[in-house]
Amino acid sequence: MIMVAVLVIALGTAWLLNTLNVISGVDWLWTGGLAVAGILVFAGKGITKFSFVVGSFLLISSVSSILRQTGTLRAKIEMPLLFIIFGVLILVSILLPLPTPDAFRDTDGATK
C-alpha cells in the first residue's frame, strides 16, 4: 500500500512540474501514470474479478490517451468508448472463473 501512495505522490509531483513548465513538453505523464497504476493493480494481489476490471481499464485508458494525443482518436469518441469498454470488462469478469477478492466476500466466504 505504501508503494501506491509513493506512486501517487511521484505522479502528482511530476504533473505539477510539467504544469509549471519545469519539465515542459512531457505529454506522457498522464498516460504513463495510467499504465503504471494498471500494472500495480495486477501486481498487488494477483488477478481477481476486481483487479481484472480496474487494471485492464487503466491500461486501455493509457492506450486511448496516446491515441487521443496523436490525433487518432477524438475526445468526443474516447469517453463513450471507454464507458462501453468498462461495461464489457465488468461483463467479462462476471463470466470468467476469476476469484472474488476477499473485500467482496461476507465473513462466511459468500460473495456479496
pLDDT digits (tens, 9 = 90+) for 12-23: 877 787 778 775
pLDDT of 76: 95
Q: What is the per-residue pLDDT across 21-66, written as a single tens digit (0 to 9) for each? A: 775 555 667 877 888 889 888 888 789 999 999 999 999 998 898 7
In the block, residue with C-alpha cell 501512495: 5
Claim: this prediction has a pTM higher than 0.85: no
Average pLDDT in the chain: 83
In angstroms, rounded to a whole number, what is the distance separating the alpha carbons of residues 69 and 80?
Answer: 17
In angstroms, rounded to a whole number, what is the distance separating the alpha carbons of residues 96 and 13?
Answer: 38
In angstroms, rounded to a whole number, what is the distance separating the alpha carbons of residues 17 and 12?
Answer: 9
In angstroms, rounded to a whole number, what is the distance separating the alpha carbons of residues 38 and 20?
Answer: 27
